[in-house]
């Protein structure tokens, strides 16, 4: 597959997305691009910030986390009539 073929295939898949899925994809794409620019952000965090992130990871690993879908469903329901 050539680069042009790949770009066309990606474009067609993106072009077929519904608005909400397109917005989600755009957010993922920005996160990916921005994440590639500077991977040294961890070094810029304070000790307290790093510990907070590590504590959150431990909570998720121990099953205390809430899924993204659950949170989004809750807020979509809450603000659907706003």
**39-66, pLDDT tens digit by residue?**
677 888 899 999 999 999 999 889 898 8
Integer angstrom CA distances of residue 19 from 9, 25, 28, 68? 19, 10, 14, 19
What are the residue ranges spanned by the domains of the chain?
A: 1-37, 40-82
Mean model confidence pLDDT for the chain: 88
- Using H for helix, E for strand and C for coil, what is the string for the chain? CCHHHHHHHHHHHHHCCCHHHHHHHHHHHHHHHHHHHCCCHHHHCCHHHHHHHHHHHHHHHCCCCCCHHHHHHHHHHHHCCC
Question: With contact defined as beta carbons under 8 Å apart, do 25 and 17 qualify?
Answer: yes
pLDDT surpassing 80 at residue 36? no
């Amino acid at each position: 597959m050539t680069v042009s073929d790949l770009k066309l295939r990606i474009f067609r898949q993106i072009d077929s997305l519904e608005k909400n899925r397109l917005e989600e994809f755009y957010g993922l794409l920005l996160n990916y691009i921005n994440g590639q620019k500077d991977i040294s952000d961890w070094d810029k965090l304070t000790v307290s910030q790093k510990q907070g992130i590590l504590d959150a990871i431990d909570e998720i690993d121990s099953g205390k986390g809430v899924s993204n879908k659950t949170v989004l469903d809750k807020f979509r329901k809450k603000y659907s009539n706003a």
